[in-house]
Homo-oligomer: A and B are copies of this chain.
Amino acid sequence: MDKREQILEATANLIAECGLQSPISLVAKQACCGAGTIYRYFDTKEELIEMVYLMQMERLTEACLANCDKQGSVREQLQKIWSNLYRYLNDSPRDAALLDQLGVAPDVREELQLKAQAGIVERIHSLFEEGRARGEIKDLPNEVLGVYAYGGISTLVRMARTKPGLKDQTITEEMVLSLCWDAIANH
């Protein structure tokens, strides 16, 4: 297996579990390599974390856009994306926890974040435009609509993962999709 990938994966696991202060020595142990080897692939720990972020955002984007043909109503297309997002975060708790940590990391440069998010953001915003043109969607800035729905979903999944009281509550996909659509729809 590729060593670089092994290191990225080990870092992702540790950050998801113990936060950003996970020591390099543990990363090396989990990646089954020496500490020095990590520095053959990444200049600094900071860069390593940025690369983990990049990898993770690619996975998120891919997961969200899976089976998303550009057919069907705006509502159907948006709900497909939200459904993908919800299932991805729920089915991959490690990835969800990792994204939570990286989301507040001071190490990840702003510029890199924007680049990594561009793909999925672009797609969603163009759907918003279309929905607004049809009068189906509120006349609010794209960023507001997108961020609000994303924030709701990701927070819901985070709480379901960490708050014991929510764990045995059954949260269905239908609930989430209803919340997201009704929030942004014109009534």
Binding site for B on A (CB under 8 A): 18-21, 100-101, 103-106, 110, 113-114, 138, 140-141, 143-145, 147-156, 158-159, 162-166, 169, 171, 175-176, 178-180, 182-185, 187
Contacts and interface: CB of A to CB of B under 8 A. Distances in A.
Nearest to A164: B110
Chain multiplicity (copies): 2
B138 A178 contact: yes
A147 B156 contact: yes
Contacts of A150: 155
**Interface pairs A-B: 5 shortest CB-CB:** A151-B155, A183-B183, A148-B152, A152-B152, A151-B151
Given A19-B106, A182-B187, A184-B179, A156 B164 contact: no
B169 A179 contact: no
A19 B155 contact: no
A106 B18 contact: yes
Contact of A187 (B164, B176, B187): B187
A167 to B, nearest CB: 10
A147 B175 contact: no
A45 B150 CA distance: 33
Nearest to A101: B104
A43 B150 CA distance: 39
A149 B151 CA distance: 9
29 contacts: A19-B20, A19-B105, A19-B106, A20-B21, A21-B21, A100-B104, A110-B163, A110-B164, A113-B163, A114-B165, A140-B178, A140-B179, A141-B169, A143-B163, A143-B166, A144-B175, A144-B179, A147-B152, A147-B166, A148-B152, A148-B153, A149-B152, A151-B154, A151-B156, A151-B158, A179-B183, A179-B184, A182-B184, A183-B183
